[in-house]
Copies of this chain bind each other. A is one copy, B any other.
């Protein structure tokens, strides 16, 4: 009705599943009532959990932030690991681990002994004894351990980690306030392994750091928007523009279309082939998928060589 009153004939909604759902409903309603409207969905969600598109605008930039942030936090922990032994970095994601998985791009020259040493996503339930064993092994080998943890990580029982350990505080109404997943994990590690554990939680910063824009992401975001407008003007309605990958290296892509109703009812979690069997790391297939999306390589890391000086006497 609002659209009608203002004689609006084109409706473009930028967003994730819910936005696709809304756009699909509006498109259907317009059709049913005989109102001529062209409605198109434009994908955009840092969560990267839309189906039918190879990836979502927004993801490349948050992935770039996460990669550089975890690399930095890893070097920091390596430097002061004698004081703060275990570092947990909490990334966004309720059901899907895409953002957390991007931490794997932090590894220096792909070396698995550089941060992050362990990655836990919601797609794999966490067996706490196994996790503690993982941490202890990394600590025994390196003297410190950096963990990328998804805020939506779940324990064996399927409950959020944050919910499991979160009954930390009860407000004056008796409402339990939940702690975060990383906070909880730090407490468990300190308690059971006797290792000092601290967490970083970039929160909204991870999705809003302008300097961390991936140029690939920016270009793709612009293109899907422009494409939606072109398609709508040409007469298309009820579809979302998608990104279609043609090759990883060199990275090549084009756009496609998916029916909004299909997009609205699907959620794309990380597929099995992107996660290792142990449930504590990603695979090479994921690295190949994610690497092109963050744009140019991260800034180089300088390491000093160690020169030993001979004793005088």
Residues on A close to B: CB < 8 A?
A: 4-8, 68-69, 71-73, 75-77, 87, 89, 168-169, 171-172, 177, 179-180, 183, 187, 190-191, 198-205, 207-212, 298-299, 301, 309-313
Contacts and interface: CB of A to CB of B under 8 A. Distances in A.
B6 A312 contact: yes
A298 B210 CA distance: 9
Contacts of A204: 72-73, 76-77, 87, 200
Contacts of A68: 209-211
Given A77-B204, A200-B204, A205-B202, A72 B210 contact: yes
Contacts of A299: 210-211
A207 B73 CA distance: 8
A249 to B, nearest CB: 24
Sort A-B residue pairs by CB-CB distance and give the 4 closest, nearest first. Answer: A72-B208, A200-B203, A7-B312, A210-B299
Contacts of A75: 208
Nearest to A2: B311
A267 to B, nearest CB: 20
A209 B75 CA distance: 10
14 contacts: A6-B309, A6-B310, A6-B312, A7-B312, A73-B203, A73-B208, A169-B187, A177-B187, A179-B179, A183-B183, A201-B202, A202-B205, A210-B299, A210-B301
B203 A203 contact: no
Given A211-B212, A211-B299, 16 more contacts: A4-B312, A5-B313, A8-B309, A68-B209, A76-B207, A89-B205, A169-B187, A171-B187, A179-B179, A180-B183, A198-B203, A199-B201, A200-B201, A200-B202, A200-B203, A202-B205
Given A299-B210, A309-B6, A183 B179 contact: yes
Contact of A208 (B76, B168, B183, B298): B76
A169 B171 contact: no
A45 to B, nearest CB: 13
Contacts of A212: 211
A230 to B, nearest CB: 21
A68 B8 CA distance: 37
Contacts of A313: 5
Contacts of A6: 309-312
Nearest to A200: B203
Contacts of A190: 171, 177
A298 to B, nearest CB: 7
A72 B209 contact: yes
Contacts of A72: 204-205, 207-210
Contacts of A200: 201-205
B210 A203 contact: no
A204 B77 CA distance: 8
Contact of A69 (B180, B187, B199, B209): B209
Nearest to A208: B72
